[in-house]
């Protein structure tokens, strides 16, 4: 049963990393290259869609990691799992304090109602997101290392 928890947790975090990496380095670049207001509208739609799913994914990944850490507290890889869970806590805190407020504003923007500094806000979101991606990649790497 513990092996299934380990594998499921690692896969869940790994797929989350893939989605967030894709947003940072693929999707946003595609959106930024679209003509006229299409890129901003695409990011608003993505913010609504992913904004509905990602909180459950982040919290779920954190809970799974915490359960794994508790279940394996006396095993050699426990420190790696605890550190991964701590990094996932950092990613959740970053999300709540830094990224979600910008996303909540951006997902309602249209070309008619967006603020004058909308590009600056999206650039700030991107910078925070790059850091968050690095944090969850590190968490994923630690979980993968704990499997061995």
> What digits encode the pLDDT tens for the residues 92-107?
999 999 999 999 999 9
Q: How far apart are CA 126 and CA 19, in angstroms?
A: 14
- Predicted pLDDT of residue 100: 97
Number of Cα atoms under 13 Å in the Cβ half of residue 145: 15
User: In the prediction, which pLDDT does 39 show?
Assistant: 94
The two tokens of residue 122 are 């999206």
Roughly what angle, to the nearest 10 degrees, separates helices 118-146 and 78-94? 170
Contact in structure between 141 and 77 (CB atoms under 8 Å): no
Q: Is the pLDDT of residue 2 over 90?
A: no
Binned at pLDDT 50, 70 and 90, residue 1 comes out as confident
Separation CA 10–CA 64 (nearest Å): 9
* Confidence grade of residue 34 (pLDDT, cut at 50, 70, 90): very high
Mean pLDDT of 107-134: 96
pLDDT score recorded for residue 76:
84
41-45, 73-77, 102-106: which has the minimum mean pLDDT?
73-77
Mean pLDDT of 61-90: 95
Q: Above 90 in pLDDT, residue 74?
A: no
Mean per-residue pLDDT of the chain: 96
pLDDT in the model for residue 64: 97
Q: Give the pLDDT confidence score for residue 30 in this predicted structure.
A: 97
* pLDDT at site 110: 94
> Residue 37 has what pLDDT?
94
């Amino acid at each position: 049963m513990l092996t299934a928890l380990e594998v499921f947790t690692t896969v869940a975090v790994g797929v989350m990393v893939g989605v967030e990496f894709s947003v940072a380095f693929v999707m946003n670049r595609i959106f930024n290259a679209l003509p006229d207001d299409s890129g901003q509208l695409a990011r608003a739609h993505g913010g609504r869609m992913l904004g509905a799913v990602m909180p459950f994914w982040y919290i779920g990944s954190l809970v799974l990691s915490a359960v794994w850490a508790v279940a394996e507290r006396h095993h050699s890889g426990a420190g790696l799992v605890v550190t991964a869970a701590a990094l996932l806590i950092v990613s959740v805190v970053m999300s709540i304090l830094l990224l979600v407020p910008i996303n909540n504003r951006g997902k309602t923007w249209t070309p008619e109602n967006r603020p004058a500094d909308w590009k600056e806000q999206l650039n700030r979101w991107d910078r925070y997101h790059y850091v968050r991606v690095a944090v969850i990649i590190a968490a994923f790497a630690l979980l993968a290392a704990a499997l061995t």
